[in-house]
A and B are shown apart, each in its own frame.
Chain A
Amino acid sequence: MLFQQVLNGLTNGSLYALMAVGVTMVYKSLGMLNFAHGDTMMVGTFITLTFIKAGVPFYIAILLGIACAGVLGFMLERVILRKVKFSSFVNLLIATVGVSYVLRNTAMVIWGTSPQLFPSMFPQTLIKIGSFNVTPQSIGIILITLAIITGLHLFFTRVKIGKCMQLASSDPEGAAMMGINVTYMRFLTFGISAGLAAIAGIMIAPLTYARVDMSATIGMKAFAAAILGGIGNLWGALLGGVILGIVEAVGAAYISTAYRDAFSFIILFIVLFVKPTGLLNKKIENKL
């Protein structure tokens, strides 16, 4: 029973981690949370679903969905955030909340509010290990998440453009002096973050159905996971996501299922109150 719950927690936690990675990347480059992150995920998922229903082959539809979400991320940066950038910080934050509102309500009009079935990319057969049931879905999700985060880590430490992005977000002035186009790097960060969100959404949807209101709860959990692990830190996002997932699954099983979504918020409150820097970060980055 406990093992089963921990496995469920790991599966959900991996998905939260994947979302949290995007949150963390944007926070690092812009110094703020992107409140439209969850909605980007939801829109990416629904676009994929629309492609699938239109008869596009499954894997091509997924790639198209991810690409569309990426474009959405690019547009968010290029069309909205770049224009408010220098007026005020509060305005910048509110602009992302505004984009979130527009995306969510547009999605409600286009795709309706009822949950829709989303095909899974994994086989549905159960694998028995001893007396436990393990779905290929869980294992697939965990492995894909690990692969993506490792890949990102390599991208940011080995590939030239990744290193440039890393530098542009940790030291914008220094990077600009080295001839790195900081604005362009920020633009890329938003696109990649949105693409990751869409990947997470495509894997979440078969578990919970594709629904418009998933953006708010999962977006919040992504923030909670990113902050819990220590914002700006890729492995922190993974750790935070996994802890959050396990606490949620175990809490839902042993305390109350009705308050399942509240657990992550309570963890968030505790982290913000006790150690706002998160588990893996040491010094406070006073970026606002």
Chain B
Amino acid sequence: MAKTKILFMAAIIIIIPILTPNMYIMQIVNMICIYIILGTSINVLTGFTGQLSLGQAAFFGVGAYTTALLNTRAGLQFIPCMIGSVLITALFGIVLAVPALKVKGSYLALLTMGFGEVVRIVMINWTPVTNGTAGILGIESPVLFGFAFDSLKKYYFLIVAFVILGLAYQNMIIHTRTGRAFVAIREDNEAAELTGINVTGYKIRAFVLSAIYCGMAGCLYAMMIRYISPDTFTNNISSVILWTAIVGGFGTVAGPVLGGIIMQVLPEALRFLGDWRLVVYGVILLIVILRFPGGLYPYVQKLLETVNKKKAAADAAEEG
């Protein structure tokens, strides 16, 4: 059963780029993949560990800027850029985690939001390094072992590899001691501490892990779009990253995948609304929070189960 499932998934992943008719849709597919990684990043931090963050765009931006600078200034290739992005964002994760350990709830949300704003203000004003509001142009497409990922379709496979890696790692970690500690901290900070869980250590770990996911996404984003500017890493993006995980379903591995698809496809499908489609993001979120607390994935799962049961019942009836 598991084998057929994996084969089925692999078939879908391979068929998607064959079926997409043009670059515009391919771009959306790639953005979905990047948002799945971003959604996973906040899922680890908020969904599993319960530390609400409204500043994920800062990590995303730091990852993208690191790659852009390493590539355009130092001429480094994809792998060192990726490693650089991951290391630098991990560092930023620690920087945010230290003050974040002292606060919770609204204050934590505010702290992370302020962190995001400060990072953006620095991006705009530290002109010698970041080139200010003009942004950084001319980032090269990645070349891996002599193979150039120079089109969106080729690039898709590179991103998908990272998505699978990210999801697999998340799936693995939630079933280990670390994952259980995360959930314990989310459910009750004091009780977790009383049972001997090193709350401080695990919180820092959650922040760093979350930052690393964003760093990866930032690196992939910078090398795909090949141009970055501070406009991309605003509060709005932090919100959309959060929505991605919430709409899909916090604390589930598949949640950010579903959320990434919904949050990227719906606004594109609603393009005829013009500028109003940005409002749609927020409206989707409010509907989900009011009508489907816990995200859409649990509901989809329930739906699939009832369908399967009906099918099984029908099969049994046929045999009988």
Residues of A within 8 A of B (CB): 27, 31-33, 35, 80, 83-84, 87-91, 93-95, 97-99, 101-102, 104-106, 108-109, 216-217, 220, 223-224, 227, 258-259, 261-262, 265-266, 268-269, 272-273, 276, 287-288
Contacts and interface: CB of A to CB of B under 8 A. Distances in A.
Interface in B273-310: 274-276, 278-279, 281-283, 285-286, 289-290, 293
A101 B46 contact: no
A288 B275 CA distance: 37
Given A84-B289, A269-B99, A105 B118 contact: no
Given A32-B105, A32-B106, A93-B52, A108 B121 contact: no
B286 to A, nearest CB: 5
Given A109-B278, A227-B107, A288-B104, 16 more contacts: A83-B290, A90-B50, A94-B289, A95-B286, A97-B54, A98-B282, A98-B286, A99-B286, A108-B275, A109-B276, A109-B279, A216-B117, A224-B114, A262-B121, A268-B111, A276-B103
Nearest to B100: A272
Contacts of B236: 101, 104-105
Contacts of A102: 279, 282-283, 286
B114 A90 contact: no
18 contacts: A35-B113, A80-B290, A83-B290, A87-B293, A88-B293, A90-B46, A94-B52, A99-B286, A101-B239, A101-B285, A109-B274, A259-B125, A265-B117, A268-B110, A268-B111, A272-B99, A272-B107, A288-B105
Nearest to A273: B99
A261 B117 contact: yes
Nearest to A92: B289
A209 B308 CA distance: 59
B242 interface: yes
Contacts of B110: 33, 220, 223, 227, 268, 272
A94 B293 contact: no
B33 interface: no
B261 interface: no
B102 interface: yes
Contacts of B181: none
Given A97-B54, A258-B125, A265-B117, A91 B106 contact: no
A75 to B, nearest CB: 12
A288 B54 CA distance: 17
B253 interface: no
B289 A273 contact: no
Contacts of A223: 110
Interface in B2-55: 46, 50, 52, 54
Interface string B266-278: 0000000011101
Nearest to B291: A83
Contact of B289 (A27, A98, A258): A98
A89 B276 CA distance: 29
Given A93-B106, A93-B109, A288-B106, A265 B282 contact: no
Contacts, number: 118
A184 to B, nearest CB: 21
A198 B54 CA distance: 25
A31 B106 CA distance: 8
A247 B148 CA distance: 52
> 7 shortest A-B CB distances, which residue pairs?
A102-B282, A288-B105, A101-B282, A33-B106, A265-B114, A258-B125, A105-B278
A27 B106 contact: yes
B21 to A, nearest CB: 30
A190 to B, nearest CB: 16
Contacts of B117: 216-217, 220, 261-262, 265
A106 B277 CA distance: 10
Given A94-B285, A272-B99, A106 B52 contact: no
Contacts of A261: 117, 121
Contact of A91 (B113, B122, B289): B289
B76 to A, nearest CB: 29
A87 B109 CA distance: 19
B159 interface: no
A99 B282 contact: yes
Contacts of A108: 275, 278
A262 B118 contact: yes
A30 to B, nearest CB: 9
Given A105-B282, A106-B279, A220-B114, A272 B102 contact: yes
Contact of B109 (A33, A80, A258, A287): A33
Interface string B216-248: 000000000000000000011001001100100
Contacts of A35: 54, 109, 113
A78 to B, nearest CB: 13
B286 A80 contact: yes
Contacts of B113: 35, 220
A266 B118 contact: yes
Contacts of A80: 286, 290
Nearest to A103: B282
Contacts of B111: 268-269, 272
A23 to B, nearest CB: 10
B95 to A, nearest CB: 11
Contacts of A217: 117
Nearest to B126: A258
Contacts of B109: 33, 35, 93, 97
A133 to B, nearest CB: 29
A272 B101 CA distance: 10
Most buried by B among A90, A224, A258: A90
